[in-house]
């Protein structure tokens, strides 16, 4: 990304941060993912719940949190449904919970689209502090554009990543399928900060995740 694009994206991120603040969320803008991950790793807390997040992968977040002495509470391949349920419930009661929305709207709303909904539940209520990381690629003009982004970009890329046999991996866009392996089942839309939750959004001037 050249310096002019970075400057323009920086202005948009500051506008989105102001809108998020007006909606009751904490919001900070970081120039790089490295700076955002260092800030996240230094937050107080021992246990850190996480959902599956390509943004977290791009930030190397789990490694940095472990290096800071935090216990990562998340599912792992090979877990039984009962083990997943137990770890998801524990993640929801953790000191910190890290996730990434599929869209951040310019009027300060946050959109998540999930297969299971464990992440959607955790970003509404439960963890002592909820930390949401998002690259500039997640900015969307409004709620409608954010929902389109969640389905036509993030969900399609995730279907390809997960090697799902769903129609969007061939069409390249969401066709609102009825496939048994559909991964788009629960939308969480945060218009404003839920009253009992501490939510901070870390906006990064880099493309991160889907």
Angstrom distance (rounded) from CA 181 to CA 126: 28
Examine residue 168 and tell whether it contacts ligand SF4 (CB under 6 A). Answer: yes
Residue linked to tokens 């039984």: 80
Given candidates 184, 199, 203, 204, which one binds ligand SF4 under the rule CB under 6 A? 184
The least CB distance from residue 84 to ligand SF4, in Å, is 20
The least CB distance from residue 177 to ligand SF4, in Å, is 3
Angstrom distance (rounded) from CA 12 to CA 30: 12
Q: Which is nearer to ligand SF4, 32 or 181 (CB)?
A: 181
Stretch that binds ligand SF4, among 6-14, 30-38, 80-88, 178-186 (CB under 6 A): 178-186
- SS3 call for 195: coil
Angstrom distance (rounded) from CA 138 to CA 117: 20
Site string for ligand SF4, 145-164 (x = CB under 6 A): ------x---xx--x-----
The least CB distance from residue 165 to ligand SF4, in Å, is 10
Angstrom distance (rounded) from CA 203 to CA 159: 25
Q: Which is nearer to ligand SF4, 166 or 205 (CB)?
A: 166
Angstrom distance (rounded) from CA 133 to CA 110: 11
End-to-end CA distance of the chain: 17
Instruction: State residue 113 phi and psi, 5-degree precision.
Output: -130, 120
Residue 110: which of 53, 191, 54, 183 has the closest Cα? Answer: 191
Q: Are 95 and 46 in contact (CB under 8 A)?
A: yes
Q: Which is nearer to ligand SF4, 119 or 129 (CB)?
A: 119
Given candidates 166, 188, 197, 205, which one binds ligand SF4 under the rule CB under 6 A? 166
Examine residue 177 and tell whether it contacts ligand SF4 (CB under 6 A). Answer: yes
Q: Are 111 and 102 in contact (CB under 8 A)?
A: yes
> How many chain residues touch ligand SF4 (CB under 6 A)?
15
Q: Which is nearer to ligand SF4, 24 or 167 (CB)?
A: 167
Examine residue 111 and tell whether it contacts ligand SF4 (CB under 6 A). Answer: no
Q: Which chain residues interact with ligand SF4 by CB under 6 A?
A: 151, 155-156, 159, 166-168, 174-177, 179, 182-184
């Amino acid at each position: 990304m050249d310096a002019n694009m970075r400057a323009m994206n920086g202005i948009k991120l500051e506008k989105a941060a102001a809108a998020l603040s007006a909606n009751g969320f904490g919001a900070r803008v970081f120039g790089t993912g490295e700076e955002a991950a260092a800030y996240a790793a230094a937050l107080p807390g021992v246990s850190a719940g996480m959902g599956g997040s390509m943004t977290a992968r791009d930030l190397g977040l789990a490694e940095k949190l472990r290096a800071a002495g935090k216990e990562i509470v998340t599912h792992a391949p090979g877990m039984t449904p009962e083990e997943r349920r137990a770890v998801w419930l524990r993640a929801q009661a953790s000191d910190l919970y890290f996730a990434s929305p599929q869209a951040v709207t310019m009027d300060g709303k946050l959109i998540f689209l999930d297969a299971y909904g464990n992440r959607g539940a955790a970003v509404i209520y439960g963890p002592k502090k909820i930390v949401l990381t998002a690259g500039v690629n997640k900015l969307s003009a409004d709620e409608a554009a954010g929902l389109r982004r969640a389905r036509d970009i993030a969900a399609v890329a995730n279907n390809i990543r997960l090697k799902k046999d769903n129609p969007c991996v061939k069409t390249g866009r969401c066709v609102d399928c009825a496939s048994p392996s559909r991964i788009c089942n629960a939308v969480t839309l945060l218009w404003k900060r839920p009253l009992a939750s501490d939510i901070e959004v870390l906006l990064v001037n880099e493309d991160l995740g889907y």
